Amino acid sequence: MNFSSRTPTVTIFEEMSALARAHDAINLGQGFPDTDGPIEVRRAAADALIEGPNQYPPMRGLPVLRAAVAAHYGRVHGLDAAPDDVLVTSGATEALAAAILALVRPGDEVVLISPMYDAYLPLVQQAGGIPRFIRLAPPAWRLTQEDIDAAIGPATRLVILNNPLNPAARVFDREELLALAQACVRHDVIAISDEVWEHLVFDGRSHIPLIALPGMRDRTVKIGSAGKIFSMTGWKVGFVLAAPDLLAAVAGAHQFLTFTTPPALQAGVAFGLGLPNAHFEQMRGDYGRSRNVLARALSEEGFALLPSEGTYFLCLDLAASGIDEGDREFCLRMVREAGVAMIPLSPFYADDPVRSVVRLCFAKAEATLTEAARRLGRAA
């Protein structure tokens, strides 16, 4: 029998985490913090777990969480959102799958922006979509009007945006987002806007939700993730915000993917989303400082870095650092020789990959980050 899969069998994150374990390396590859999230959020989930109910929650999510998501987005982004515009999913990954499977019909063109998060292309292909790529390149990773006009046209059904952009750590500005929104309106295109990193933007930047731009309220599926908002990546609780008709289509796919998400985690997230703004500002400040620690330590070792405007990630520019190895080769050698795991960027492209950039996760203790930089400096 032939068990060959239509999708890659191991993601780059799994591959590098397995190598990190095998070599007992510091794992700055897969993006996850080395601390647990806020104790009060975990306690709210624990209380809900003990007190119940623990039976199937409603398919679209616990009413208390749907209301909390709408209120949170109103408060932090100024969005006009109602509980009926919200669907709870089992992580942003499931939200992406539900949205893509619901909205892409065989033969539809789907515009993807590379470097692209690893789940997008396999899901689009499973839905029978025809991918069209916009290729962003370092050091600016800028989305231009020219790129947009070349990729989006009358045949386009859907565009998938990730902002802030993992793995490039780029935060798109208003001009870029407006250009994308105008193209969506002009060609009657739906947008999936994966904004799981919305709370992690640095240096006074603010996150601009695509759904807030002119003409986008009824054509955007906004995706968020409690795993990122509360630094607990194992909590697979995601949410979708979209206008009722669009949301109904996504919910239709969701009901046959997972149907629902564990109620205690939903209750914990509902509590957490109500934390004061100061909590989220503090988190941004803490991660910003971690980014600075890693950036300083790597610079002192002579590495050239690309700007990290958001996410948990900082990218090394290999060519500018005087390293002429490919990104994948460099990562494979460093996990063995330096005992530090990182993520190459080339797997985030379908063609013509950028091969001179690697991604490091700075959501770790200061001592871990400085030790990793020291090891890399010695081995590179």
Chain contacts with ligand GLN (rule: CB under 6 A)? 11, 13, 30-31, 166
When the beta carbons of 31 and 344 are compared against ligand GLN, the nearer one is 31
Angle separating helix axes 366-379 and 277-300, nearest 10 degrees:
20
Q: 13 touches which of ligand GLN, ligand PMP, none (CB within 5 to 8 A by kind)? A: ligand GLN
Alpha helices in 204-276 (DSSP H): 226-229, 244-254, 263-273
Least Å from the CB of residue 235 to ligand PMP: 8
Among 25, 26, 31, 298, binds ligand PMP (CB under 6 A): 31
Least Å from the CB of residue 97 to ligand GLN: 13
233 binds ligand PMP (CB under 6 A): yes
117 binds ligand PMP (CB under 6 A): yes
Among 60, 207, 236, 364, binds ligand PMP (CB under 6 A): 236
Contact between 56 and 259 (Cβ < 8 Å): yes
Taking alpha carbons only, the member of 225, 279, 286 closest to residue 88 is 225
Cα separation, 269 vs 265, whole angstroms: 6
Instruction: Name the segment binding ligand PMP (CB under 6 A); options: 225-233, 253-261, 342-350, 369-377.
Output: 225-233
Tell me which residues in 170-199 interact with ligand PMP (CB under 6 A).
194, 196
Residue 225 — φ and ψ, nearest 5°?
-145, 125
The partner residues of 131 in beta bridges, in order of sequence, read: 110
- Does 53 sit behind a cis peptide bond, omega within 30 degrees of 0 on the bond before it? yes
Number of residues that bind ligand PMP (CB under 6 A): 14
Q: Is 178 exposed, middle or buried (0-12, 13-18, 19+ CB in 10 A)?
A: middle
Q: 145 touches which of ligand GLN, ligand PMP, none (CB within 5 to 8 A by kind)? A: none
Contact between 372 and 316 (Cβ < 8 Å): no
- For ligand PMP, the nearest residue by Cβ is 91
Both tokens assigned to 352: 């013509």
Least Å from the CB of residue 118 to ligand GLN: 7
Binding site for ligand PMP (CB under 6 A): 31, 91-93, 117, 162, 166, 194, 196, 225, 227, 233, 236, 238
